[in-house]
Structure 1
Amino acid sequence: MSFENTPYKDKKVISIGIVSELTGLTFRQIRYYEERKLIFPERTEKGTRKYSFSDIEKLVEIANKREDGVQTHEIRTEMKKEKEKPAEKSVLKEMLRGQFNAHFKNNHDQTS
C-alpha cells in the first residue's frame, strides 16, 4: 500500500518526542516496547523512528495493561490473537456462505 493510500491513522509520521508527550511514556519505555515486538515504528534514512496514531493508541493500551500487571509476552500473545481474528471471521463467513448455498441448492433441487 502506498503512502497516499494509507489511512491517516496508519501513516508513520510522528516523532518519538511527540509520542512521548501524547502518551506520557518515556523514550526508554517506548523503545522497550519496540524491543519486545509490541510496536513497529518505521525508520527514516537517518534512523529516526516514526510512529502513527495507531501506534500511539497501541502504546496507551500497552501502558494500561502493564499498569494492571500484564507482562509484555502476554500482551504480544494477545495482540497476535487479535490480528488473527479477522482471518478466522473470513473463513467462518465463507463456510457459512457455502452451507447456506448448499442448503438452498439442495432444497431447490428437491422441489424441481
Structure 2
Amino acid sequence: MSESYKHKKVITIGTVSEITGLTERQIRYYEERKLIFPERSQRGTRKYSFHDIEQLMEIIEKIEEGVQTFEIRQEMLKKEKKRDERKIRDDMIRGQLNARFGIQQSP
C-alpha cells in the first residue's frame, strides 16, 4: 500500500507558515523541541506533510491554553509508547491466531 497523501513530506516551510499563521522561526523552534519532524531534501530544504500541519495546529491550541512545549512532548511520547505497545499486542494476538488456525503469512 502506498503512503497516505497526509504523510507525504512535500510542503515547504513557507507554505506551512502561510497555512498555520506561524512564523518560520516558530516552526523551526517546534522542530528543535522535537514536536514535529520534517524531512530534508537533498538541498537541505525542510519538507512537511499535511499531518505535520495538523500536528502544528494542535500544538498552537495547547500553547494558547498555557501548556509548555516540554509537556506537549511528554504527552506525545506517552501516545507513541501506547501505540507501540498496542501494535506489539496486536501482532502477538495475530501470531497466536495464525498459529492456532494454521494460517501462513505471505512474504
Q: TM-score range by the shorter chain?
A: 0.7 to 0.9
Shift of 1:90: 4.0
Which among 53, 57, 64 is matched to residue 54 of structure 2? 57
Which among 3, 6, 21 is matched to residue 3 of structure 2? 6
TM-score calculated relative to the size of structure 1 = 0.75
TM-score calculated relative to the size of structure 2 = 0.78
**Which has the larger helix fraction?**
1
- Structure 1 segment 9-24 matched on structure 2, within 5 A: 9-24=6-21
Query: Are 2:65 and 1:68 equivalent residues in the alignment?
Result: yes
Instruction: Describe the SS at the equivalent of 2:11.
Output: coil
How large is the Cα RMSD of the aligned pairs?
Answer: 2.0
Query: Are 2:46 and 1:45 equivalent residues in the alignment?
Result: no
- Of 83-92 and 70-79, deviating more is 83-92
Which among 72, 86, 100 is matched to residue 89 of structure 1? 86
**Separation (CA, whole Å) in 2 of partners of 1:40 and 1:76:** 12
**Separation (CA, whole Å) in 1 of partners of 2:4 and 2:23:** 27
Amino-acid identity (%): 62
Q: Which amino acid aligns with 1:36?
A: R
Instruction: Describe the SS at the equivalent of 1:5.
Output: coil
Shift of 1:41: 0.4
Shift of 1:92: 5.2
Gap change, CA 1:91 and 1:44, over 3 Å in 2: closer
Instruction: Describe the SS at the equivalent of 1:50.
Output: strand
- What per-residue deviation string (whole Å, max 9, x for no partner) do you get for residues 11-63 of structure 1? 00000111011111111110000011111101111111000000000000011
Q: Which amino acid aligns with 1:9?
A: K
Instruction: Describe the SS at the equivalent of 2:57.
Output: helix
Q: Which amino acid aligns with 2:8?
A: K
Which among 78, 82, 86 is matched to residue 75 of structure 2? 78
Shift of 1:5: 2.0
